[in-house]
Structure formats: structure tokens, C-alpha cells
């Protein structure tokens, strides 16, 4: 399948590394002009160097700013005033016993994981509907459906994203704009490696620590391994394309079969 996104501008939040960087690469290689976002100008500049070295024929631009704040979101939207494809990838996670999660931490998770996406959607969706074409996506998680006991604040914030996605899809009904969530399963990133080593002894070799994590905490996985970021990006690129024009209001799974359900 040849996906051509030439002439489209994409904004991918938290795209200096991990899943976001893989999504930015995938969209750029399909012809989109991609705005790379991170909290600092330095992190974005370093990521742009990496992206341009890996994809010299692609077009990238800088969109630094902390989108978990109103001022940061405004800064990003000023850098990219016309967005055709919005990928809300920013998210934080971490281990915390349920009864030890403070009000302040609950608020932080909603500011970062939920309200950042709401802000940017509010800023980008009107222009998309006026132009009669657009794509909005939210990178959710299997934790939105299978709430992990070790980080319920993260799981609940991702559950909220599914509702946000469905609601904005209704707001865009009939406009030519699609709005979807991507339910990512356990994925191999630097952040996840750090997360795994919060649970297991740091002296364990990575392959052993990963295996122990999957066996003890993610035994439902049917592929029995962590998903690579490029595998998430493949779905995002497809949903960003004209081929996915009839898919909206959906929660599409790239979870390695982790969620034990025959219904998407």
C-alpha cells in the first residue's frame, strides 16, 4: 500500500524520542511535513538533527513547547498555525501504589495525558473542518482498558482519552475530518526500559528483565514480546491516510493481542 501524505502538515507531540519519534519518521517518509515537538528548544534541535540525518529527503520543522500548559500549547500552535494531521502522543507514566497517589499527582496526569490533547484538538480541529480534511489521533494504551494495579492514575487518564476521542469525532461528524485513538500495547522504548527497571533489579540483563516483565505483568500478550515503536507508527500513518477515510470515532488496537477481547 502506497501512502502519500504530500502537501499535509503533521504535528506530533513528544516526538523527540520513542513512539513519537517513530511516528514523526513514518509520517515524514510518507511525504508529510512534520513538526517535531518537545519541551525545550535544545531537545527539539537535537531530534531534528537525528530526523534529518535518517530521512534527508523529508521535511521537518521545530515546534518546541510544553503542551501540558496553556502557554506552551499556544507557543506550539504559533509555530505550526495550520495542522492537517494532529498526533497527540505526549504522556507520562510511573509506578505508584494506588493509595499513595496524591491529588497533585492525579492532577498532573490529567494535565499532561488528557488536557494537553484537548487543548491542541481545540486549536486544530476548527481549521481542519473548514478545509474539509484532517486527522486527529490520540495515542492511548492497553492500560485504558486493562487498568494496571501498579499505576491506576495512568490507566484512568488513558481511559479518559478514549472518551475524548469519541467525543471530538462526533464534533467533527460530516466534515471530512476523522478522529481516532490508537491503543498501543506494551512498547519497547527507553522510557519503558526505565519503567521496567523501577520494578526489577537494575543488575538484570535487559532481555531477562523484559521477559520477567512480560511474564509477570503482561502475560496476556499474544506476541509475548514488547512492540517496537515502528509498529505503532505504521498504524498511525495508515489512519492519517486517505485509505482510512471511513474509520472515525474508533479505538484501534496495536497491542500484540494484549487486550483479551474479540471486539476492537
Q: Looking at the domain assignment, is residue 3 inside a domain?
A: no
Cα 107-110-112 angle, rounded to 5 deg: 105
Least confident of 134-143, 154-163, 204-213: 204-213
The secondary structure of residue 187, as a DSSP letter, is B
Q: Which domain holds residue 196?
A: 190-226
> Distance between CA 54 and CA 52 in Å, rounded?
5
136 & 219 share domain: no
Average pLDDT of span 174-199: 92
164 & 177 share domain: yes
Q: pTM of the predicted model, to two decimals?
A: 0.94
> Distance between CA 117 and CA 125 in Å, rounded?
11
Nearest alpha carbon to residue 28 among 60, 66, 3: 60
pLDDT tens string 62-82: 999 999 999 999 999 999 999
Q: Is 212 exposed, middle or buried (0-12, 13-18, 19+ CB in 10 A)?
A: middle
- Residue corresponding to grid cell 486549536: 123
What is the number of structural domains in the chain? 2
Q: Looking at the domain assignment, is residue 264 inside a domain?
A: no
Q: Looking at the domain assignment, is residue 106 inside a domain?
A: yes
247 Cβ partners below 8 Å, 6+ apart?
A: 178, 180, 239
Q: Are 88 and 117 in contact (CB under 8 A)?
A: yes
* pLDDT at 156 (0 to 100): 98
- Residue corresponding to grid cell 502519500: 4
> Has residue 264 got a pLDDT over 80?
no
130 & 52 share domain: yes
> Has residue 232 got a pLDDT over 80?
yes
pLDDT-based confidence at 256, cuts 50/70/90?
very high
* pLDDT at 189 (0 to 100): 85
66 & 140 share domain: yes
Q: Looking at the domain assignment, is residue 2 inside a domain?
A: no
* pLDDT at 192 (0 to 100): 83
Q: Are 76 and 64 in contact (CB under 8 A)?
A: yes
Q: Looking at the domain assignment, is residue 161 inside a domain?
A: yes
pLDDT-based confidence at 258, cuts 50/70/90?
very high
150 & 168 share domain: yes
The residues annotated as belonging to the active site are: 154
pLDDT tens string 152-168: 999 999 999 999 999 99
Q: Looking at the domain assignment, is residue 260 inside a domain?
A: no
Amino acid at each position: 500500500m502506497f501512502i502519500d501524505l504530500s502537501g499535509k502538515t503533521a504535528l506530533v507531540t513528544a516526538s523527540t524520542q520513542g513512539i513519537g519519534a517513530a511516528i514523526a519518521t513514518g509520517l515524514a517518509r510518507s511525504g508529510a511535513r512534520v513538526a517535531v515537538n518537545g519541551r525545550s528548544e535544545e531537545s527539539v534541535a537535537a531530534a531534528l538533527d537525528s530526523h534529518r540525518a535518517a530521512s534527508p529527503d523529508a521535511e521537518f520543522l521545530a515546534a518546541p513547547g510544553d503542551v501540558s500548559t496553556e502557554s506552551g500549547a499556544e507557543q506550539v500552535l504559533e509555530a505550526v498555525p495550520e495542522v492537517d494531521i494532529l498526533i497527540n502522543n505526549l504522556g507520562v507514566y510511573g509506578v505508584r501504589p494506588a493509595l499513595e497517589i496524591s491529588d497533585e499527582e492525579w492532577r498532573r496526569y490529567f494535565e499532561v495525558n488528557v488536557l494537553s490533547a484537548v487543548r491542541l484538538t481545540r486549536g486544530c480541529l476548527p481549521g481542519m473542518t473548514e478545509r474539509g480534511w484532517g486527522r486527529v489521533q490520540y495515542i492511548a494504551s492497553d492500560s485504558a482498558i486493562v487498568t494496571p494495579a501498579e499505576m491506576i492514575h495512568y490507566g484512568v487518564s488513558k481511559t479518559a482519552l478514549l472518551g475524548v476521542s469519541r467525543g471530538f469525532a462526533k464534533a467533527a461528524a460530516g466534515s471530512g475530518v476523522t478522529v481516532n485513538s490508537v491503543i498501543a500495547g506494551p512498547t519497547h522504548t527507553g522510557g519503558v526500559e526505565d519503567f521496567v527497571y523501577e520494578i526489577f533489579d537494575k543488575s538484570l540483563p535487559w532481555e531477562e528483565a523484559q521477559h520477567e516483565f512480560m511474564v509477570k505483568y503482561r502475560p496476556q500478550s499474544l506476541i509475548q514480546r514488547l512492540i517496537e515503536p515502528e509498529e505503532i507508527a505504521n498504524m498511525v500513518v495508515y489512519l492519517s491516510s486517505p485509505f482510512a477515510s471511513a474509520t472515525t470515532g474508533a479505538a484501534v488496537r496495536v497491542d500484540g493481542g494484549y487486550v483479551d477481547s474479540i471486539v476492537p
